[in-house]
Structure 1
Amino acid sequence: MTIRRSRATATATLAAALCATALLPALAACQPPSAERGFVPRYEEAAAADRDSAAFLKRRQLMEQATADLNALLDVPHRITVVARSCAGEGSGYDPETRRIELCYDDLTEDRKLFEDADGGPADEPLSDVVRETLHHEAGHALVDALDLPVRDRGRAEEDAADRFAQFMLLRGPEGDRTLLTAARAYDLAAAADPTPDPDDEHAPDPARAESHRCAVYGHAPTTHTPLATASRADCPTTWTRTRTTWTTDLTPLLRR
């Protein structure tokens, strides 16, 4: 969920220099870019420790489903590559320099362990929900970048906007409420496992992100989710309406007619 810049920028600069001097004419990096538009999924070879997570991701077709949903709604004029890879703990994120979302196999391994330790059983279903939420959160960053929205590069404000995009996108579908509630539980489990927030993390604290998702679910359909009704969530329908209206307005230039 981190927005990474320096490593990708340095790599791209080096590749461009080598291509310009014809030292690497046969490399894919020196070939003309594809004419593809929109969100495009791609898998990289997994490290040995991540092979089970990579196989799970491919078997479930989660990236394919998420990118298809995004492309059905939006006509993004450039390619945003969604890459699954081994990240060695670096963390899933979006890189605006390369317009690339990276989904880390090792993040899946950690999230699976959270649910298996808590529930004592298989975690394929909750893990699928967490992956969906992560992909849409990172897509939110990509769209903030593509549209040059006012929250761009504003740390917590951009992270909150990306969370709200995940809510907006997922609640368009019939299982979005379950997905967001599962993601909220994952944030709760992560907070319980490591209750001290990272002072350098630009995201809201995990409990706050969990509550934001629950508020969106309740605000979207209060009569369906009466168990979520509390005094502190009385304003959630208004909050959800604001989220939906803001993102619909911001996305207008990209919406398919």
Structure 2
Amino acid sequence: MGRRTGNGTRALLTLALAAVMTGCTAGQDAAGPADAASRRTHGKGSSGGFVVQYRTGGKAASATAYLRTRRILDKAAERLNDTVKVPHRIPFVVRSCGAAEPAYDSETGTIDFCAEHVDEIRDRFAHVGQGVGQGADRQGDPDAADAHVAAVLEETAYHESAHALIDRLGLRFTGREEDVADQLAAVLLIGQGRAGETKALAAATDYALAAKETPFDPADLLDEHSLDGQRAANYACYVYGVQPARHEDLVGAGGRVTEDRAEGCPDEWEQARSGWQQLLAGHLKRQV
């Protein structure tokens, strides 16, 4: 997950657009009335803001139905539009991406929200329903698992929207862009209160599971992303930092954060929140 640039992306995009157009002429990927309604809702009569576009045919059908029924991206777009003034239209395009991960494409100004990613997260949590941040074990609880999936996909939406905002608003930052994008996702989730803290911990659980599923490769150290285990710890640290008394179970043996790091988590959280507050100065409709 991240930002796509370069000639290789252009070539892949050309093939993808050709496939989409072919599907549209066959009546498989054409946007229906619900898609038009979604675009009107999020566009709110202006040319700017985040919108959601669904490609309904082929391999994307199941993921599209899942996202649309739960309005995961629609709600994320609404929250973004209520928070940030964006002069450009930035579509979340739900489609089959093949082997690609969800990513913001700086050449087209769109966020590809890949059906394969939705299916991967759903599969990962199919048998995982433990309570998040509360120490409860609810293995196999379908409602808990579904809440986890929705939270992780919402986190993905905010992460990719951060890349879009950095590009379209010309934001200047320090550090690695992928880490900065994670910070915005954490801020937008945790800013929703206790429910948002639970969502952020679901994202931490997903990264922790991904770290366990994938054997460590030294080449991972060269990647633009932090390691999955590090990202899991970062999200847990932000949650602990905003409400230490409520999340004592995250610290120490059996927790997500070491006691030494926990001392600095309130500062880490405040740096993430105030950093994005400053980055978006002049573009905010309300504080993040």
Q: TM-score range by the shorter chain?
A: 0.7 to 0.9
- Aligned pair 1:249/2:259, yes or no? no
Alignment correspondent of 1:45: 56
Query: 1:233 Cα deviation (Å)?
Result: 1.2
Letter in 2 for 1:75: K
- Aligned pair 1:132/2:154, yes or no? yes
- Aligned pair 1:163/2:182, yes or no? yes
Matches within 5 A, 1:15-26: none
Check the 8 A contact 2:103/2:160 in 1, yes or no.
yes
Query: 1:46 Cα deviation (Å)?
Result: 3.9
Check the 8 A contact 2:50/2:92 in 1, yes or no.
yes
- Aligned pair 1:116/2:136, yes or no? no
Distance 1:116 1:248 in 2: 36
Distance 1:193 1:12 in 2: 30
Which has the higher mean CA deviation after the structures are superposed, 116-125 or 140-149? 116-125
Paired residue total: 234
Check the 8 A contact 1:168/1:243 in 2, yes or no.
yes
Which has the higher mean CA deviation after the structures are superposed, 109-118 or 89-98? 109-118
Check the 8 A contact 1:44/1:83 in 2, yes or no.
yes
Change (3 A) 1:172 1:11: same
Alignment correspondent of 1:31: none
Query: 1:54 Cα deviation (Å)?
Result: 1.7
Alignment correspondent of 2:223: 201
Q: Which runs of 5+ in 1 are unaligned?
A: 15-33
Which has the higher mean CA deviation after the structures are superposed, 193-202 or 204-213? 193-202
Check the 8 A contact 2:173/2:279 in 1, yes or no.
no
Distance 1:164 1:84 in 2: 23
Aligned-residue identity in percent: 36
Check the 8 A contact 2:2/2:163 in 1, yes or no.
no
Aligned-CA RMSD value: 2.3
Alignment correspondent of 2:211: 191
Change (3 A) 1:222 1:81: same
